[in-house]
Amino acid sequence: MALTPSYFDEGMLIGVLTTQPLDRVLDYRAPEGGCHLGAFVEVPLGPRKVLGVVWGAGQGDYDISKVRSVIRVLDAAPMREELMAFLTRAGDYTLTPMPAMLRLATRAPGLGDPPSMRKIYRLGDTTPDRMTDARTRVLDVLRDMGGLSLTLKELAEAAGVTTSVVKGLAKQGVVREEDSPRDTPFPTLDPSYSGKALTEDQTSASATLRAAVATRAYGTTLLKGVTGSGKTEVYLEAVAECLSQGRQALVLLPEIALTAEFLTRVDARFGAKPAEWHSGVTITERRRVWKMVAQGGAQLVVGARSSLFLPFRDLGLIVVDEEHDTSYKQEDGVLYNARDMAVLRASICGAQVILASATPSLESWANADAGKYAKIELTSRFGAAVMPDMRAIDMRTEQLAGSSWISPTLQRAVQKRLDNKEQALLFINRRGYAPVTICRACGHQIGCDHCDARMVEHRFLKRLVCHQCGETKPLPNVCPHCAAEDKLAAVGPGVERLAEEAQSLFPDARLAVLSSDMFGSARAIKAEIETIASGGADLIIGTQLVAKGHNFPLLTLVGVIDADLGLQGSDLRAAERTFQLMRQVSGRAGRADKPGQALMQTYQPEHPVIRAILSGDEQDFWAAEAGERRAAGVPPYGRLAGIILSSTDVQEVFDLGNALARNDGPLRRVGAQVFGPAPAPIARVRGRHRVRLLVKAPKGTALQSALAEWVAPFRLKGELRMAIDIDPQSF
């Protein structure tokens, strides 16, 4: 095998991967002064200048006298071979063209620009012409800083003055104004700043994880533990070990709304906050994070799945918190599962992975069972907290009176908590006011014009919303079908409607509603969560958002309005999802010194999944679930890929689907089978008809190369689109 040189002298032929949708690496000549393998460069492409990365030696397989030169090498650390290898392998796995992979790794606008500057302020050596209270406060703050500097905004805020006071002092030279680069390193995290005294279980878990990190080699550990058992405390110890080694760490969280609380915990443990990376981070800050991650000026990053593609200088640990969470699967663009990609990246760069969850995915459970992952279990909650007492409310025997969704048994339980000044949570996994709007005259249901989906009424937004494409329209007064007036009625409960009903049942209770679409900003959600945590609400009404790891110390009752909801439908993962969600939600109750209770309203208390949730007998549940999946030959005991074809023309999609199904030679040769085409679960989205094929293969099959060979002869003309989803979430 030819070794790739790591440096190219001026004029040498190099291959540059660009972010443009081309199917090959392009040849260029190294610029004056040469360039490193992995260097970020600007290259000419037709009349344009585009971003690229030096990917290796050039091919030189055509008239090389025509090869153009790189325009300039950008001022950014070259991409490490480890990240180049990761992008290549992740692209191969997800069947994603390399330019799209590179785009994932270059999401920092202006990453090669010269450092931008900002003004900073420190104490000068002249005295002001006259003193005011405000001026005194500014000088006091600067004296307290002991020679350190602050930005204009920080200084004004700390002194409680307007920025013009600071500027006035700067004009006189009392305060010195200086230029400083904006992209500054993050404050140093101190691994021994303040550790908690760990319990015996936690100590041994922490020691095992620390030892794993100390190997500086790849390994994955499933850290399983009931909610509140201290998983976070324990993996922060592994982070501490990693930082002590001088390596960087990454913690992935499934939900942006969780980061604020987590940053506070990191601050308490390490004496400073880490870098953040997710869609809520400003453009300038993203650039800073990207650069500092590359230079080593950020030791710890807390972020969403996209932070896996950051240019770490020396990544030693990746934690995937709530590893079972479905939001780790990216569902558009590049279809990847951040949990699996974390394992891939770690195996390339010699890092440890910790998968933390109270309710691991069957995939991780099976990998631990097979010995591929190490497993650590924390079985009891920290301190006096015990797992909540779980019971079913059999809705067949309840007389619903004065309420359509909250049974008398649940009402009494809520009232008891309110009387005791404790908090109760009512959970329903449905956003909006009502899932269906129906005309009582003709039976017409209002649907989306562009999708095969019903419009969901949102009273908070005062509109009907399509949860598939996001289209909204006002709620009409007349039926769009039969023109009857005032006959449109809301059917079924959503979180807003449940809140309305709860308020009328408990008029004196202070209500808080937690649903991702109610606030529109991570900051508003954070504020609402803080209100609840500090006791500013008595009754919480929430969707899935509340299930994800918040600490509500006063909460002692969780009422699940419809435990059967997730069990409908034909998705093979339905049982797993329901089991995880119900356990997760129930885990919110009784975290501190008061015992909790979880009540689940169900019409089928004898259903095996409901029984497993109630008994808490996980081993049995997983064993049964694993048995069914094994028999069906589906993940994690077989391999699946989904092919989604879409077009505005329904005939066109089915024609292509049928042609694919007929010409399945490359699949059959590796023992894979194709099913379909069939209309996708939502057969029309945004005006495009969607058809699905499912490919099933035994474990160990070289599925990707077979798929690539299979689809290669089919050219996508006009409106036709094809997306290949390896390891689809639902099947």
Query: Contact residues for ligand ADP (CB under 6 A)?
Result: 196-199, 202, 225, 227-233, 382, 551
List the single partner that 439 binds among ligand ADP, Zn ion, none, CB under 5 to 8 Å by kind.
none
**Residue 345 vs 381, nearer CB to ligand ADP:** 381
575 part of the interface to Zn ion, by CB under 5 A: no
What is the DSSP code (8-state) at residue 586? H
462: three-class secondary structure by DSSP: coil
- CB-CB contact of 553 with 419 (8 Å): no
* Helix H or strand E encompassing 146: none
Is 451 annotated as contributing to ligand binding? yes
Residue span binding Zn ion (CB under 5 A) among the ranges 106-114, 115-123, 272-280, 465-473? 465-473
- CB-CB contact of 532 with 540 (8 Å): yes
List the single partner that 202 binds among ligand ADP, Zn ion, none, CB under 5 to 8 Å by kind.
ligand ADP
* Nearest distance, CB of residue 448 and Zn ion, angstroms: 3
Cα–Cα distance, 4 to 124 (Å, whole number): 54
Nearest Cα neighbor of 525 from 254, 255, 257 is: 257
Please count the other Cβ atoms lying within 10 Å of the Cβ belonging to residue 659. 12
* Nearest distance, CB of residue 721 and Zn ion, angstroms: 17
Q: How many residues does the chain have?
A: 731
List the single partner that 118 binds among Zn ion, ligand ADP, none, CB under 5 to 8 Å by kind.
none
* Nearest distance, CB of residue 365 and ligand ADP, angstroms: 17
Nearest Cα neighbor of 625 from 592, 577, 585, 667 is: 577
Cα–Cα distance, 601 to 411 (Å, whole number): 12
715 HSE (CA, 13 A, CB side): 2
* Nearest distance, CB of residue 240 and Zn ion, angstroms: 47
Is 242 annotated as contributing to ligand binding? no
**Residue 417 vs 591, nearer CB to ligand ADP:** 591
Which tokens belong to 675?
């099913």
Residue span binding Zn ion (CB under 5 A) among the ranges 94-102, 153-161, 441-449, 574-582? 441-449
468 part of the interface to Zn ion, by CB under 5 A: yes
What is the DSSP code (8-state) at residue 200? H
**Residue 262 vs 579, nearer CB to ligand ADP:** 262
Residue span binding Zn ion (CB under 5 A) among the ranges 102-110, 123-131, 444-452, 490-498? 444-452
Is 35 annotated as contributing to ligand binding? no
List the single partner that 106 binds among ligand ADP, Zn ion, none, CB under 5 to 8 Å by kind.
none
Among 54, 169, 466, 726, contact with Zn ion (rule: CB under 5 A): 466
**Residue 268 vs 524, nearer CB to ligand ADP:** 268
* Nearest distance, CB of residue 684 and Zn ion, angstroms: 8
In the range 470-509, which residues lie near Zn ion by CB under 5 A? 471
* Nearest distance, CB of residue 197 and ligand ADP, angstroms: 6
Q: CA 700, 702, 706 angle in degrees (round to 5)?
A: 145
List the single partner that 469 binds among ligand ADP, Zn ion, none, CB under 5 to 8 Å by kind.
Zn ion
Is 349 annotated as contributing to ligand binding? no
464 part of the interface to Zn ion, by CB under 5 A: no
Residue span binding Zn ion (CB under 5 A) among the ranges 57-65, 96-104, 462-470, 491-499? 462-470
455 part of the interface to Zn ion, by CB under 5 A: no
Please count the other Cβ atoms lying within 10 Å of the Cβ belonging to residue 25. 20
* Helix H or strand E encompassing 693: strand 688-698
**Residue 199 vs 663, nearer CB to ligand ADP:** 199
**Residue 29 vs 583, nearer CB to ligand ADP:** 583
Is 469 annotated as contributing to ligand binding? yes
Q: How far is CA 71 from the centre of its chain?
A: 37
Which positions ≥6 away from 599 have C-beta within 8 Å? 391, 392, 393, 409, 410, 413, 557, 558, 559, 560
451 part of the interface to Zn ion, by CB under 5 A: yes
* Nearest distance, CB of residue 233 and ligand ADP, angstroms: 4
What is the DSSP code (8-state) at residue 491? E
**Residue 288 vs 431, nearer CB to Zn ion:** 431
Which tokens belong to 40?
């970020």
280: three-class secondary structure by DSSP: coil
- Please classify residue 283 by burial: count the beta carbons closer than 10 Å to its beta carbon, then call 0-12 exposed, 13-18 middle and 19+ buried: exposed
**Residue 533 vs 634, nearer CB to ligand ADP:** 533
Nearest Cα neighbor of 355 from 254, 248, 278 is: 254
Which tokens belong to 454?
């019903």
Which positions ≥6 away from 106 have C-beta within 8 Å? 19, 40, 51
680 part of the interface to Zn ion, by CB under 5 A: no
List the single partner that 450 binds among ligand ADP, Zn ion, none, CB under 5 to 8 Å by kind.
Zn ion
Cα–Cα distance, 314 to 320 (Å, whole number): 18
Cα–Cα distance, 228 to 597 (Å, whole number): 15
**Residue 533 vs 574, nearer CB to ligand ADP:** 533
146 HSE (CA, 13 A, CB side): 0
Residue span binding Zn ion (CB under 5 A) among the ranges 18-26, 63-71, 125-133, 466-474? 466-474
- Please classify residue 275 by burial: count the beta carbons closer than 10 Å to its beta carbon, then call 0-12 exposed, 13-18 middle and 19+ buried: buried
Which tokens belong to 213?
């990190």
Among 118, 450, 473, 607, contact with Zn ion (rule: CB under 5 A): 450
**Residue 448 vs 720, nearer CB to Zn ion:** 448
Site string for Zn ion, 62-81 (x = CB under 5 A): --------------------
469 part of the interface to Zn ion, by CB under 5 A: yes
Residue carrying structure tokens 């913690």: 251
**Binding site listing for Zn(2+):** 439, 442, 448, 451, 466, 469, 479, 482
Q: Which residues contribute to the site for Zn ion (CB under 5 A)?
A: 448, 450-451, 466, 468-469, 471
**Binding site listing:** 439, 442, 448, 451, 466, 469, 479, 482
